[in-house]
Structures are given as structure tokens and as C-alpha cells.
Structure 1
Amino acid sequence: MPHLSRLTSLALAMALLGCAPQLLAAEEPESLPATAVSGKAPLPLDELRTFAEVLDRIKSSYVEPVDDKTLLENAIKGMLSNLDPHSTYLEPEDFEELQESTSGEFGGLGIEVGTEDGFIKVVSPIDDTPASKAGIQPGDLIVKIDGQPTKGISLMEAVDKMRGKIGSKINLTVVRDGGKPFDVELMRAAIKVKSVKSELLDKGYGYLRITQFQVNTGEEVAKALAKLKKENGGRLSGLVLDLRNNPGGVLQSAVEVSDHFLKKGLIVYTKGRIANSELRFSADSADASEGVPLVVLINGGSASAAEIVAGALQDHKRGVLMGTDSFGKGSVQTVLPLNNDRALKLTTALYYTPSGRSIQAQGIVPDVEVPRAKVTREQDAETFKEADLAGHLGNGNGGADRPSTSKKAAGPRLQDDDYQLSQALNLLKGLNVTREN
């Protein structure tokens, strides 16, 4: 993708997608052209007079004194909170944490969160973090934080409450699938997210998991593919790309990952009100995956940049999408620095898959729906075969006898306790059978 090195300043500003104004967003600052923010519309004088009057009435009549700074910052927050769930005002600490998060190391619980009906909703827990280890699941509603109700508080306030000193404890009250509330105690930790994990599931079949899209994820995927091929004699028979509970991240990385599986064609494009927000990203002729049969796993925690990859691979019929519907976050946020180390995170565009689909509020529908389920294995009953019988005839073609044998218990495998993953592996094996025939 040689064109990536020539991205405009706005493209770089838009090259980051997060899932909701979240606990673990991944964005970086940039600025829009002056013409884009100046505008030519006349000032709404009547509304400004009303605003000034309200400000004056609050200052003079509210039960307690409120300083101008607090009132104006609250007004800004209210202005943004009524646009969409992803546009927000970032105070200095929030802005700094947002800038740090693209490195893959930050403090917190490891939860991507949004809002639903006034409550804090878990979009996805991040792998190997306090949240995932405590069993927090996508779709969980956090109704209390340390006993304090979350109903009606802003997302940033909730995020601030969940952040804290590393090693300190926090109690979340959670409602799952409309059931009874239950408490989960977690210990805050320094979150170090490894964005790419890989291993061999079976001889010839690789597993590649992307937990979120960081700045170097595209490079890490290329290395992981090379490592898997090397471990299997230079060639893979199939690959599972796991994007479940991946909340998104850096747009450019999503493009690079998609490009590792495609030889040509459009990957994603964006459209917004500003001319420079209309960007197109296409694949180059190199294919790090070498056309290996591919199954892509998605679920309700797959959002934003993860949906870009899934949508591109689905539109190009490069792999089979399996799992459940994705989150449906198809908008792009630009971080606009302000004075005094503050910033706006503003929704500036929508992105579209190669076929022109907008995923916003709809999500990606998998080709094969496989819900989450538990795998329960039954022990095989003891059986006898023809080859066990005394005096049995030999094989007419000269083949060796194959009597019943007691199988050695295999060591635990990743797919043994993951129904969706085991189904993906079975599909890959089936695809290879038909290809060989």
C-alpha cells in the first residue's frame, strides 16, 4: 500500500477508530483545515442571547455559587453529548490518556464501554486484563460502580470512576441478559495489550487472534503469518482469523491487516461533509497469507476497525465469516486539539465496505451463524471392530489390520473449550477436502 505514506493530515487525523467514548479508546490528535471549521453561516444571535441569559440566571439564582469555567465546560460537554455517543470533550487528563493508549499500554480494568438506556454497557473486555479474567462479557450492563448507581452519569464520568491506582480494588454491579444484578470485584492493573497472538490448532491449521488494532498491528500480523508457516513446514492448510471482542483501534492498521489477505481491490472508503474526509484505501498485489483458506470469527464485541477487516474480506469473498452479528460502529472520529491541553473527539465521517455497505448501527452479518456455546464431550463407549475378532479375514488389498485401540488422552487444545473456534476449524478441514477433490 504505497499510498499510505502519502496520507493527508486529515487522513492521519481520521486514521483512528474507537468503539464508544470508551475506557480504552485508541486515537491520536490532528487538526482540520481552517476552512472546514470556520464556516460561513451567520451567528445565531437569538440563541446566543438565550445562552447568555441562562448563564446569567444560573450565576445569580442557583442555590450555590458556580464559577464561569465550570458552567462553560458543562455547556460544551452537553453540546457534544447530544450529537452522538462517540463525540466528546476531552479534558487534559482524558486527552493525555487517549494519546497514550495507541502504544498498547495504559492503566485500568481492560473494558471497552458504551452507553445503553442511561447505563454503562460493556462492548468488549480486552484479553488478559482484569475484566476478561473476572468473566466480564460483551453486553453486560454496569449498573453500579463501588455501590454508586451509573444511571444518568456521563460515559466519561463512569470511565473516571473505573480508573484508579494500580493494585486498588473496585466493585462493579453487573446485569447480564436481563437477569439479577451481581457483584464483580476487580483489581486495577497496568493494561499491556498484545494485539496479535498466534498458534497452531492442528497440523496445518493456524490460529491468528487480533485483540485490538494498534499502530504496529499490521506488521505483527505479517510476522505471525510467517511464523505459523515456518512452524508447519512452510505452508498452511487453513487459518482462523479471530476478531471476536475486538473493539477496533487504528484505521491504517485495519487496512494493512486486510491487505495481508488481499491481492487487489478496494478495502474501505470514508465519506463525510468535508471534501478531504473522503478517503479510499486499496490493496496492493502482495499477499502475506498466500491465499490460505480462511475463516474469520466475529461477534457482538467486534467493532469499528475489526468490522472494516471483516467487511472487506467478506465483500471480496476471501474467507468465510462465522459467529454472530458484529457491533455496528461505522463512524470515524477525529481528535481536534484545543487550547490548554484540551481536545474534541468529533465524529467526522462514516466508513463503507468495498461493496458500498455502511455498517453503522447494523453491523456485519456472518456467512455462517454460530452462537456461543459450551462444548461437552462424551466419553466413547468401548467398542470392538472386525479386526479384533479371532480368525478374521485379512484385507483384500493387502492393507494392515486396524483393531480398536485405546486412545491416549490428548493435551488441552484451544479449540476444545471454544465451540465457535472448533466449528471454524471443522469448516476449514471440510473446505480442504473439497479442494483436494
Structure 2
Amino acid sequence: MSHRFRPTCLALALGLLLGAPALHAAEPAPAPVAAASGKAPLPLDDLRTFAEVMDRIKAAYVEPVSDKTLLENAIKGMLSNLDPHSAYLEPEAFAELQESTSGEFGGLGIEVGMEDGFVKVVSPIDDTPASKAGIQPGDLIVKIDGQPTKGLSMMEAVDKMRGKAGSKIELTLVRDGGRPFDLTLTRAVIKVRSVKSQMLEDGYGYLRISQFQVNTGEEVGKALTKLRQDNGNKKLRGLVMDLRNNPGGVLQAAVEVTDHFLKSGLIVYTEGRLANSELRFNADPADASEGVPLVVLINGGSASASEIVAGALQDHKRAVLMGTDSFGKGSVQTVLPLNNDRALKLTTALYFTPNGRSIQAQGIVPDIEVARAKLTREQDSEGIKEADLQGHLGNGNGGADRPSKAAQAARAERPQDDDYQLSQALNLLKGLSVTRGN
């Protein structure tokens, strides 16, 4: 990839995670005031109105309110009405955001957004209290510890769900328009392992990316090497990359992961008003995946950085995308540190796939739509085979007998046995292997 455009101040985020990685910036971005130079002066009448409202509140509100509280609330209001991803970060939230991309944080392990005034689950994170409790993408959180979330800002709702590891919290959820139900969860220190891999069958590997942290690109490279070793140091016949319920994360990590599967060409580009928000990322000639046939799984919980990877591989026809439409978060946030341990998280650009597609509010459409389904395996009642008959003839080519009891032998559980979308991805790879003569 081209390193001329390393985005030290840009990263992708989706809403606010409950302690999960969102947006991280190593350096402050230039103040956007410069971009607005030459425009109309500040509206003095509106500023006078603002000052008058502030004075009236201080004089007449039922309880005393400090200037600091009123000004911070005004700042929060300015940002909350721009878009769902811009926010004013107070010292605690800013510190958590700076630490979040290390992959260890406190909370429940869910990525959230807002819909119709309610907190909506974008994605639970693997192996966290939220995923273990069965929380699913699309669930609406209508109450937190019995208090309605309607009317709360996302930051307020997130603050209510934060807490010490080991403390309990009750969430009231609504799923698919059904009746509300309660779940009691125990907050925990979340340690996210962003990359997992294993062999599904001989020659076929599985690569799960749960979110994009700073070191995810490096971890994917190691996983590809390990899969090759597990395959007897032979090239894989096929690979499934699982991006389902991956809420995104760091832009650079998404670029590095994609670069492992491409030899050339554009990966992603961004466009915005600031000079340093217009970036282009290109692939290096090296191909760590060795051109292995690739199926990428996505769903409605695949967002932001996940959509960058999926969109680039789809545009380059490097992978077959399978599953359901992705979330559709195509904007870039910049962290603008302030001088008092606070920061602005501001939407500054849109990103585009290599073919110029903006997936904002649309998402990535898979090449093959496969909805989530539950697999139930029927008992094999094959009866008697020729090889079971006494005195049967042997195979003229010297092949071993295959009696019926062999088909009923116990088999170790595999991920694809209970995952319909994954089993379909594996079947597609097998079909490609057959037709290509691999």
C-alpha cells in the first residue's frame, strides 16, 4: 500500500461502543476554522440571543446552573445535531477512546447507534457479556435499569451503561418489533482478540475478524501463515473471511487487511473539506494470501472498516461476498483534541470504494444473498449397503470397503455444522475448487 498518505489523524468509527474501539488519532488535526475562512462573519444577533438565553436560564431555572455546565451542554447540542457520529468528548470519554484501540477496555461489549430516539445495537463483540447474553444486531435498548432511553442522547445512554467490572446492569430490549424482554448482564473488562483462525476441512481455512484494531493487519498476516502451516505448508484451496457483526475500527487496519489480498490497485479513498481528509490508499505488490479463492461473509452488523474491506475486495473481484446487506456507515471521523483534556469527534469526510461507490446509508450488497438460518441435522437412516452383505465382492480397483457403519461414525463438531451461512460459503469454495481443477 502507498505509505505517502498514512492517516495519523483519521480513523473510522461507528457510533459509540460501550468501551469498544471507535476512533483513535495520534495527532491533532488542523482546526477546521481555516477551511471556513472567507465566509460570512459570525451572526451577532444569534450570538446575542444565545447569551440572552443563557442569562435567562441562570436567573430563572428552578435550580442554580453554572456557566460551565450551560456551555458544555451547548457544545454537546451543537455536535449531537450534526450527525449520529459527531460528539463532544469530555476527559473520561476522550481517555477511553485513546486507550480503546489496544483491544482491552471495560463495559458490555456492544456497538450502539441511535434510531427513532432509541439506542440500537449495531453489533455485539465476540466473547463479551453482550454476545454471551444473546444480544443481536438490530435490538433496541428501550430501558436501562428500568429507566426509559427515549429522549436520551447516545452519550447519555452510553454513560448509563458504563460501570465497574463486576457490577450488574439490566437492559430492556425489543427485537423485531416483538414484546420487550429483560436481560441482566455483568459488566466486565473486555479483552478483544480481533483475529481468530482455524481449518474448516483439509485445504479450507477460516479467518474471523471481530473488529479492526491497530495491530489487526499484522495479526491477519500471522493467521494466514499459520493456516498455511496447518495445511501441511501447502497453499489453501479456499478461505472464508468472516466480517459478520464486525463494527469497524481503525482505517489503517482495514487498509492493511485488504492489502494482504490484493497485488495492486486502489483500496479506498476519502473526500472532505479539509486538505488532509482527502486520502488515497493503494495496494502493495505482495500478496500474503497467495491468491487463494476467497469468500467474505457480511451482514447488517458489518460496518465502517468492515465495509471498506468488503467493498474493495468486491470491486477488484478478488472475493465473493456472501450474506446480507451491510450496515451502511460510510463516513470518516477525525478526533480534534482541545486544550483542556477534551476533544471533538467530528465527521470530516466520506470514504469511497475503488469504483467510486459511497456506501453511506446504503451498505454493501453481497454477491450471493444468504440469510441467517438454523441448521438441524437429520439422522442418517441409510440402512444396509452392499459392503454390509456377507460374501460381497471386493472392489475390482483395490478400493477399501465402505459399510454403512462408517457413515455413522462419530465426528468432531466443526463451526460450519451449526452456521448455515458459513456452511454455504464452504460449499461455494468447494465448487470453485472443483470447477477450477484445484
Note whether the superposition's TM-score is higher than 0.5: yes
Q: Could you tell me which residue of structure 2 aligns to residue 31 of structure 1?
A: 28
Structure 2 residue identity aligned to 1:105: E
Question: Contact 2:54 / 2:70 at 8 angstroms: preserved in 1?
Answer: yes
Q: CA deviation at 1:398?
A: 5.8
For 1:64-143, what aligned pairs fall within 5 Å after superposition?
64-143=63-142
- 5+ residue gaps, structure 2, are none
More displaced stretch, 336-345 vs 43-52: 43-52
Matches of 1:188 and 1:394, distance apart in 2? 63
Alignment of 1:32-431 (within 5 A): 32-34=29-31, 36=34, 39-41=37-39, 42-234=41-233, 235-389=235-389, 395=395, 399-406=399-406, 407-431=408-432
Residues 143 and 151, structure 1, Cα contact 8 Å, conserved in 2: yes
Relative to the length of structure 1, the TM-score reads 0.95
Aligned mates of 1:306, 1:107 — CA distance in 2: 23
2:13 maps to: 18
| d(CA) in 1 for partners of 2:303, 2:288 | 24
Higher mean alpha-carbon deviation, 385-394 vs 314-323, is at: 385-394
User: Number of paired residues?
Assistant: 432
Which deviations, in whole Å up to 9, do the C-alpha atoms of 1:93-130 show, x marking residues without a partner?
Answer: 00001111011110000010001111100000000111
Q: 1:339 to 1:280 in 2, by over 3 A?
A: same
Deviation track 1:333-370 (CA, whole Å, cap 9, x = no partner) reads 00001121010000000000000000100000001111
Residue 393 of structure 1 deviates from its aligned partner by 5.5
Q: CA deviation at 1:384?
A: 2.5
Shift, 1:46, TM fit = 1.7
Extract unaligned runs of 5+ from structure 1: none
Deviation (angstroms), 1:19: 1.0
Greater CA deviation, 42-51 or 210-219?
42-51
Deviation of 1:139 (Å)? 0.5
TM-score (norm 2): 0.95
Q: Please give the alpha-carbon distance, in whole angstroms, between the structure 1 residues aligned to 2:394 and 2:65.
A: 96
Distance in 2, Cα, partners of 1:76 & 1:400: 77
Residues 281-327 of structure 1 deviation map (CA, whole Å, 9 limit, x = unaligned) = 01010000000111100000000000000000000111110111000
**CA 399–339 in structure 1, closer or farther in 2 if over 3 Å, else same:** closer
The Cα shift of 1:62 comes to 1.9
Distance 1:198 1:182, change over 3 A: same
Contact 1:335 1:345 in 2 (8 A): yes
Deviations 1:154-183 (A, max 9, x none): 111111111111101111011111111111
CA contact (8 A) 2:87 2:344 kept: yes
Code of the residue aligned with 1:28 in structure 2: it is: H
Identity %: 79
Query: Does structure 1 retain, via aligned residues, the 8 Å contact 2:121–2:138?
Result: yes
Q: Which stretch has the larger CA shift, 70-79 or 47-56? A: 47-56
Distance 2:178 2:342 in 1: 40
Rounded to whole Å, the distance in 2 between the matches of 1:58 and 1:328 is 40
Structure 2 CA distance, aligned partners of 1:170 and 1:109? 9
Please give the alpha-carbon distance, in whole angstroms, between the structure 2 residues aligned to 1:377 and 1:426. Answer: 16
Alignment root-mean-square deviation, CA: 1.6
Deviating 4+ runs (over 3 angstroms)? 34-38, 386-403
Q: Alpha-carbon deviation of 1:28?
A: 2.1
CA distance in 2, matches of 1:112, 1:402: 50
Match of 1:7 in 2: 5
Say whether the 8 Å CA contact 1:109–1:131 is kept in structure 2: yes
211-220 or 44-53, which deviates more: 44-53
Q: CA deviation at 1:402?
A: 3.8
Mapped to 2, the partners of 1:40 and 1:398 lie a distance apart of 87
Aligned residue for 1:281, secondary structure, equals strand
Shift of 1:18: 1.1
Letter in 2 for 1:125: P
The 8 Å contact of residues 242 and 296 in structure 1, kept in 2 or not, is answered as yes
Report if aligned partners of 1:21, 1:88 keep a CA contact under 8 Å in 2: no
Alpha-carbon separation, structure 1, partners of 2:395 and 2:105: 65
Cα separation, 2, equivalents of 1:135 and 1:401:
45
C-alpha distance in 1 between matches for 2:63 and 2:35: 36
Worse overlay, 405-414 or 173-182? 405-414
Pick closer, same or farther for the CA change 1:131–1:399 going to 2, 3 Å: closer
Q: What amino acid is the match of 1:214?
A: Q
Q: Indicate conservation of the 8 Å contact 1:254/1:309, yes or no.
A: yes
**Which 10-residue stretch deviates more, 268-277 or 208-217?**
268-277
- What does the per-residue CA deviation read over 1:355-399, in whole Å, with 9 as the maximum and x for residues that have no partner? 000010000000111111110000011322334445655556565
Counterpart residue identity of residue 247, structure 2: P
